[in-house]
Amino acid sequence: MPVQLLDENSVVAYLKSRNIFSDSADVAVEILTGGVSNVVLAVSGEGRDLVVKQALPELKVAQKWSADQRRAIVEANALQVYQEITPENVPALVECDPERFVVILQRAPRSVTNWKEDMLAGKILPVVAGDVGEILGKWHKNTSAPLILDQFQEDTLFEQLRISPFYRAIALRHQSINRRISSLIDELENNKTALVHGDYSPKNILVSSSNVPIILDFEVAHAGNPVFDLGFLLGHLLTKSEYVGTLTAKTKIAQSAYSFLQRYEQSLGRPASPTFTWHVAAISLARVDGVSPVSYLNPEMQSNLRNTCLGILQSEDPPSLTEVFSEL
């Protein structure tokens, strides 16, 4: 039986029934937009400022994209793990309702900005990228224990939300890279050494007024290969490098990518897998030719990025990150 979805009219009664607010509380509700996989509502009252997320059974994109609502439970469990490692950079979990696939979080300060929107508007700070890399390195370094990984054996969700719409989608579109994409999928599925965030993207990173990153959206977390998170974040930076119009902005995004990788490797204590740049290209290509393409690239930008990524994926050896960003 389908789970009833919350909305701005029903969420207050729901929260009062779970004793989040008292029966007499005056609660304000705000619809938060921008996401495609959840109902997201901000609620405030009685001195509490919260966000309510409920997983949708089908994502709001042009092509059909179904996903198990159980990912809300995964998000709650991952939040608790990451909270112990970097409490300043993760929202506090208030409650999880596993029956209705609802997660309730402490809302970030109202003064935060979204890192993706900052970059698209020309506010590009490599120091933020460096901090984002350090956070990820800490997560990957401190989540390799079997006790943690055994809780996040989520192959089905990762296939539904990442392998199929990103990797398999571009392999179907571009036969020339079939073998390369198959090898990258094998790498992701067979070398599970850390708790992988799975959606480590600028859109899911808030930046405080003092430039402290706050990471969101943990529903794709899984025991997996850390190289995916590297490819996902850097693939989005590569995509944004194609969008920005000036050499200065492109240089700052490249510097952000280098800072991210350097701080990540320092935090992790070892070099990243050399194949990560192939994953960067795969993710970036999927933002043009996958199930959920970005909306901000015009046809010429899409063509340029497509050609760049195909060239990288067809190369005999994975290029360096410097070589990747020099392609644009």
CA dihedral 101, 229, 203, 318 (to 10 degrees): -150
Beta-ladder partners of 27? none
Confidence of residue 161 (pLDDT cuts 50, 70, 90): confident
- The pLDDT assigned to 321 comes to 97
Summarize pLDDT for 144-155 with one digit per residue, the tens: 999 999 999 988
Please report which residue ranges of the chain form alpha helices under DSSP H.
Answer: 11-17, 71-85, 115-120, 126-141, 146-149, 155-158, 169-173, 178-190, 227-243, 247-268, 276-289, 299-313, 321-326
Name all domains of the chain by residue range, CATH numbers in brackets: 11-106 (3.30.200.20), 113-326 (3.90.1200.10)
The pLDDT of residue 2 is above 90: no
3-state class of 305 per DSSP? helix
Residues in the chain, total: 328
- 39 neighbors 54 (Cβ within 8 angstroms): yes
CA dihedral 129, 132, 137, 138 (to 10 degrees): 150
Measured distance between the N- and C-terminal CA atoms of the chain, rounded to whole angstroms: 49
Confidence of residue 308 (pLDDT cuts 50, 70, 90): very high
Task: Kindly state the DSSP code that residue 3 receives in the 8-state scheme.
Answer: P
The pLDDT of residue 327 is above 80: no
Summarize pLDDT for 29-76 with one digit per residue, the tens: 999 976 678 889 999 999 999 999 999 887 765 565 667 788 899 999
- The overall average pLDDT reported for the chain is 94
- Phi, psi dihedrals of residue 143, rounded to the nearest 5°: -125, 30
Cα-to-chain-centroid distance, residue 5 = 23
Summarize pLDDT for 177-192 with one digit per residue, the tens: 999 999 999 999 999 9
Listing DSSP states for 180-228 in one string gives HHHHHHHHHHH---EEE-S---GGGEEE-TT--EEE---TT-EEE-THH
pTM more than 0.75: yes
